[in-house]
């Protein structure tokens, strides 16, 4: 097995993470990778599918990327998939916006992904041979062209499926009655949009989430912190666009961001209430993304 400390240092450098990250990785990522390896050893089917659910900007893609490195160092083949890569195209969401509800134009809530694509990719990852993984380009707000999609050489031992609503269960109908923020009050007064998202969770998303063997749940201190974390993400996107010589205004400004995260508020709050009881590992993060408990 490759030296984990050296691997973590390399990862932190590549990802430009703060110096304190190495300590965190020793307390969190290393033991979590060991736990996932142990789950894999006793799993009844391959690949073992581990869901990583956490609010926007909570650090899911960083966590899963490092876990994949650590698992590979243990000679386990680990693929990472994000539910964000299953978003419907811009045109498909525009069609939903016309036909069902205007708020479905914005990517995010259940109903704006293609869960059947996720099921098909998980299935393909269980077979030998190359699998072209889906990729969504947030600056274009559209799936990336095939040439930009990564290829995983299957079969995978483990798939880490990360996303802000991975494993979410529908809300009981009475909880849908009252709007929870201004967006819902002003633009979904009759509850059609939130009802559609909830029905999607109860329907097509169930087939994807039923495939999860294990669930790791990250929780934010509160929704204000989620807004801040998501803002940091967008700032990174802006910097990346500048570095690539692309238009930085493809990233959202503060007003757009407030409206964007309002779409996520209901389900983010519901997940924090409902999923801890169902998760295998629950990590309560502070505002600096540090878990309160040692693992
Ligand atoms: N443990 C950490 N310490 C400090 N910074 C971190 C840590 N984990 C992640 N970050 C930084 O926080 C930001 C968000 O992380 P990441 O992209 O992993 O979040 P995410 O949950 O996948 O977000 P999204 O749901 O929007 O895709 C990134 O800039 C990342 O470098
Ligand atoms: O950018 C997005 O699509 C949301 O923040 C979910 O990750």
Structure tokens belonging to residue 160:
């880490």
pLDDT at residue 1 in the model: 66
∠ CA 96-98-101, nearest 5°, is 70
Distance 42 CA to ligand 1 centre (A): 30
Q: Which DSSP category does 113 fall into?
A: B
Q: Contacts from 45-48 at CB under 8 Å and sequence distance 24+?
A: 45/213, 46/126, 46/155, 46/156, 46/157, 47/79, 47/122, 47/125, 47/126, 47/155, 47/156, 47/157, 47/158, 47/159, 48/157, 48/158, 48/159, 48/213, 48/214
Cβ atoms 85, 133 nearer than 8 A: yes
Whether 233 is in the pocket of ligand 1, judged by its Cβ within 6 Å, is yes
- CA-CA distance, 137 to 114, in Å (whole number)? 15
Structure tokens belonging to residue 37:
């390896």
State which ligand 2 atom lies nearest to the alpha carbon of 56. Answer: 5
Extract the runs of DSSP E, i.e. beta strands, from the chain: 48-53, 78-82, 129-132, 136-137, 142-143, 151-154, 158-163, 214-219, 281-284
Distance 101 CA to ligand 1 centre (A): 31
pLDDT tens profile 130-158:
999 999 999 999 999 999 999 999 999 99
Pairing of strands 158-163, 48-53: parallel
State which ligand 2 atom lies nearest to the alpha carbon of 108. Answer: 3
Whether 174 is in the pocket of ligand 1, judged by its Cβ within 6 Å, is no
Structure tokens belonging to residue 82:
């994000």
Residue of 57, 69, 225 to test ligand 1 pocket, by largest number of atoms within 8 Å of CB? 57
What are the angstrom distances between the C-alpha of 292 and each of 22, 34, 218? 16, 20, 11
- CA-CA distance, 262 to 269, in Å (whole number)? 11
Backbone angles phi and psi of 271, in degrees to 5: -60, -45
- The closest ligand to the CA of 53 turns out to be 1
Residue of 138, 144, 223, 257 to test ligand 2 pocket, by largest number of atoms within 8 Å of CB? 138
Helix spans in 173-264 (H): 182-187, 192-202, 204-209, 223-243, 254-262
pLDDT at residue 57 in the model: 94
- The closest ligand to the CA of 57 turns out to be 1
Residues in the chain predicted with pLDDT less than 50, given as ranges, are: none
pLDDT at residue 2 in the model: 72
Q: How far is CA 14 from the centre of its chain?
A: 21
Distance 189 CA to ligand 2 centre (A): 24
Distance 67 CA to ligand 1 centre (A): 14
Domains of the chain and CATH, by start: 4-166+184-218 (3.40.50.300)
3-state SS class at 43: coil
């Amino acid at each position: 097995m490759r030296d984990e400390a050296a691997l973590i240092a390399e990862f932190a450098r590549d990802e430009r993470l703060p110096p304190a990250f190495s300590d965190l990785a020793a307390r969190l990522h290393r033991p979590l990778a060991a736990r996932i390896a142990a789950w894999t050893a006793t799993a009844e089917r391959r690949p073992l599918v581990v869901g990583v659910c956490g609010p926007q900007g909570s650090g899911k893609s960083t966590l899963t990327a490092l876990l994949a490195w650590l698992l590979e160092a243990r000679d386990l083949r680990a693929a990472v998939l994000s539910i964000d890569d299953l978003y419907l195209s811009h045109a498909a969401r525009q069609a939903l916006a016309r036909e069902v509800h205007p708020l479905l134009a914005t990517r995010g809530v259940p109903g704006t992904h293609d869960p059947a694509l996720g099921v098909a990719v998980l299935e393909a990852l269980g077979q030998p041979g190359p699998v072209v993984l889906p990729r969504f380009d947030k600056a274009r707000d559209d799936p990336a062209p095939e040439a930009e999609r990564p290829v995983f050489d299957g079969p995978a031992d483990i798939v880490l499926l990360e996303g802000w609503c991975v494993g979410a269960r529908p809300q009981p109908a009475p909880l849908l009655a009252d709007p929870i923020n201004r967006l819902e009050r002003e633009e979904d007064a009759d509850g059609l949009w939130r009802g559609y998202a909830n029905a999607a969770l109860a329907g097509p998303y169930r087939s994807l989430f039923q495939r999860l063997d294990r669930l790791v749940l990250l929780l934010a201190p509160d929704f204000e912190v989620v807004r801040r974390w998501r803002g940091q993400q967008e700032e990174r996107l802006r910097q990346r666009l500048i570095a690539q010589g692309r238009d930085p205004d493809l990233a959202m400004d503060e007003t757009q961001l407030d409206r964007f995260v309002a779409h996520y508020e209901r389900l983010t709050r519901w997940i924090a209430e409902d999923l801890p009881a169902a998760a295998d590992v629950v990590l309560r993060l502070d505002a600096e993304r540090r878990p309160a408990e040692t693992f």
